[in-house]
Amino acid sequence: MENSALGIHRTARGTFMELPPQTRMLLESEGSTTILLESLIACRLTVRVDSQLPVDAGSLDRRIRDELGLSPHAKPVLRRSALLTPAGDVVSSNRVVFDGAAVPWLADSQDSTPLGRELRARNSMQHRVILDNGLASWPPGGAGTPCAFKEYIINCSDGSRIHLHETFSPHFVPVPGR
């Protein structure tokens, strides 16, 4: 269902005009998604790492490998995580890919600090490049409720790059049909 739902149409710029303004802002922003979500929901979020394993770069989409500058023989890390409210509600489900050698501090799967806040605490200058955004299904991989998603690369001032694909709970990031 990615990028399609009844009554939702992209403009030439890629924005879904039928989405609520706060959802459009989240999907189009090149700033910290964590900070935007915390502002939208009015609470501090934590991260729960569900899995974190090295993978063969050849198993990743070529576009991700190219964006991260990985050779097909590299061993990047694939992290699956969720951003949680203090009550434990899932705000977003995340797929993060990074080169563990280039971003060693991210390899700590026990740290509950969301990526956006961690980068800010490290005084890392960063630039996000949106690769895709739109509509998917919640929960991810399911055929459930329409939800918003955003895929992007974070380019850090130290030259490291991090790929993220975030799927947002429609309970917190509204979309029509929910």
Q: What average pLDDT is seen over the chain?
A: 86
Please state the pTM of the whole predicted model.
0.87
Which residue, among 15, 22, 18, 20, has the nearest Cα to 7 in the 3D structure? 18
| Residue 178: per-residue pLDDT | 59
Number of C-beta neighbours around residue 131 at 10 A: 15
User: pLDDT tens digit string along 22-32?
Assistant: 999 999 999 89
Number of C-beta neighbours around residue 24 at 10 A: 16
| CATH (one of 3.40.1410.10, 3.40.605.10, 3.40.50.720, 1.10.10.10) for 21-168 | 3.40.1410.10
Q: Name the residue with higher pLDDT: 113 or 82.
A: 82
Q: Band of the pLDDT at 14, cuts 50, 70, 90?
A: low
